[in-house]
């Protein structure tokens, strides 16, 4: 039986989940994997949390050197979050010739190329299944199972906080502010929700997924990002009438015009499988040239779902010490200069306009659409409001820049009205 000494950095939600799973399943792993996995040390500055789950002082340390210098430890779990301390600690651990398992999506997204280089130099592993999708096994799926495919597209709900907020708005007809407050009360959203609601979290995750899917480095700086702060209950309700459901989607497409990578609120048909993914759940829809459509669904965050992904990597690392694999692409800071990124992507668009109830207004708007080659698929006019007539337009597929130019020109028209909302339709 192989002995595996493990250390854990951080004892928050994920770190405590990892410890509890390893402790509870210790005998299972002996029987099923022939591995005796033992937590040897835990780096934490909050001993109270440790005591609450039965951890004694003999396991607790406050200095990373105590872990780096312990030859009985071969795998270290980084579950601290943040960048500054975690980057220093993971670098030190890799240089001490220990493999690292991390759940830190921002760390891996921004510095994974540096950490992987150090891991290669020291002939140890760097594993990151838990960085995307919580308990969903998406990283290993892309790294191993789908390597025989050219992945054409990836479409995902990969942030549980925003999905909870949008689900709440849709299903209970509550405002964004009220839905966010409830998400914070339940612990789905942080006190400062910026990373989630402004889509930074999803952008980091899409960078990781798209790089694996398209087998080339996709820096997060190449990804178009738009969060959900501006989403209105008005548009969610109009979308429902039109047969659409609003989701914050991470979208990656490998097209003949280049690679498209974007995160933004998107209307999808209410019959689409992703439309039924509610609350804090995640789902990722992949299209490969051989396998066709694959969808993975599950809990996108939480103590035990994310802990499950981390422990899966621990067991994988323990069993593959002689066959360590790294990124299936040139993992540098920047994208390959030969890769083309297309920011003028194609989409259909939902627009809500508030227009003046005067003769000729609609003709002016349609003339601008015609100028920019925008074809209208559906137009609905609703009862006059206090400030104008609500006009809902859904376009046929067109280009992003055409829509931006048209919106700018419509908004500059005197005595016409204003474009209140633009939402892409996939």
Query: Which residues are marked as active site?
Result: 205
How far does Cα 159 stand from its chain's mean position?
5
Residue 424: CA count within 13 A, CB half-sphere: 28
Beta-carbon contacts of residue 245 (< 8 Å; ≥ 6 apart): 170, 239, 267, 268, 269, 270, 272, 275
Pick the closest to residue 5 from 45, 53, 38, 52 (CA basis). Answer: 38
Q: Are 346 and 381 in contact (CB under 8 A)?
A: no
354 DSSP β-pair partners:
390, 418
d(CA 101, CA 10): 13
Q: Are 404 and 373 in contact (CB under 8 A)?
A: no
d(CA 170, CA 239): 10
d(CA 234, CA 239): 9
Tokens of 211: 């790089």
Rg (CA), the chain: 24
Pick the closest to residue 60 from 6, 4, 8 (CA basis). Answer: 8
Q: Are 411 and 352 in contact (CB under 8 A)?
A: no
3 DSSP β-pair partners:
36
Where are the extended beta strands (E) located within 274-375? Answer: 281-288, 292-299, 346-355
Q: Are 376 and 395 in contact (CB under 8 A)?
A: yes
Tokens of 412: 């500059």
Report the SS3 class of residue 243: coil
Q: What is the dihedral of CA 294, 298, 302, 304, to 10 degrees?
A: -100
d(CA 145, CA 198): 32
């Amino acid at each position: 039986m192989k002995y595996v000494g493990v250390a854990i950095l951080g004892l928050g939600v994920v770190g405590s989940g990892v410890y509890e799973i390893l402790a509870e399943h210790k005998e299972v792993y002996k029987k099923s994997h022939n591995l005796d996995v033992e937590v040897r040390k835990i780096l934490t500055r909050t001993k109270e949390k440790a005591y609450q789950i039965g951890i004694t002082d003999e396991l607790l340390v406050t200095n990373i050197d105590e872990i780096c210098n312990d030859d009985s430890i071969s795998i270290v779990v980084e579950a601290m979050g943040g960048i500054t301390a975690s980057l220093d600690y993971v670098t030190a651990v890799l240089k001490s010739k220990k493999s690292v398992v991390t759940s830190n999506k921002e760390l891996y997204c921004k510095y994974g190329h540096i950490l992987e280089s150090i891991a290669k130099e020291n002939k140890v592993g760097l594993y990151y299944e838990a960085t995307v999708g919580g308990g969903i096994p998406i990283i290993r799926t892309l790294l191993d199972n789908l390597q025989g495919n050219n992945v054409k597209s990836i479409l995902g709900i990969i942030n549980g906080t925003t999905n909870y907020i949008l689900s709440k708005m849709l299903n209970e007809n509550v405002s964004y502010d009220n839905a966010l407050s409830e998400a914070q009360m339940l612990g789905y959203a942080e006190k400062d929700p910026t990373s989630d609601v402004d889509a930074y979290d999803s952008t980091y995750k899409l960078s990781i997924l798209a790089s694996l899917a398209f087998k080339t480095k996709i820096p997060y700086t190449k990804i178009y990002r738009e969060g959900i702060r501006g989403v209105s209950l008005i548009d969610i309700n109009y979308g429902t009438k039109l047969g659409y459901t609003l989701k914050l989607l991470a979208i990656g497409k490998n097209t003949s015009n280049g690679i498209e990578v974007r995160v933004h609120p998107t209307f999808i048909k209410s019959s689409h499988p992703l439309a039924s993914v509610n609350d804090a759940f995640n789902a990722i829809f992949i299209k490969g040239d051989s396998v066709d459509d694959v969808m993975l669904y599950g809990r996108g965050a939480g103590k035990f779902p994310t802990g499950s992904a981390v422990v899966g990597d621990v067991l994988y690392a323990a069993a593959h010490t002689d066959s360590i694999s790294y990124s299936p692409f040139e993992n540098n800071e920047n994208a390959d200069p030969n890769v083309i990124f297309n920011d003028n992507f194609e989409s259909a668009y939902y627009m809500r306009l508030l227009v003046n109830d005067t003769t000729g207004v609609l003709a002016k708007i349609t003339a601008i659409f015609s100028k920019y080659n925008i074809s209208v698929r559906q137009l609905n006019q609703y009862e006059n409001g206090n400030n104008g007539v609500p006009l809902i337009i859904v376009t046929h597929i067109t280009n992003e820049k055409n829509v931006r130019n048209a919106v700018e020109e419509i908004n500059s028209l005197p005595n016409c009205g204003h474009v209140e909302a633009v939402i892409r339709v996939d």
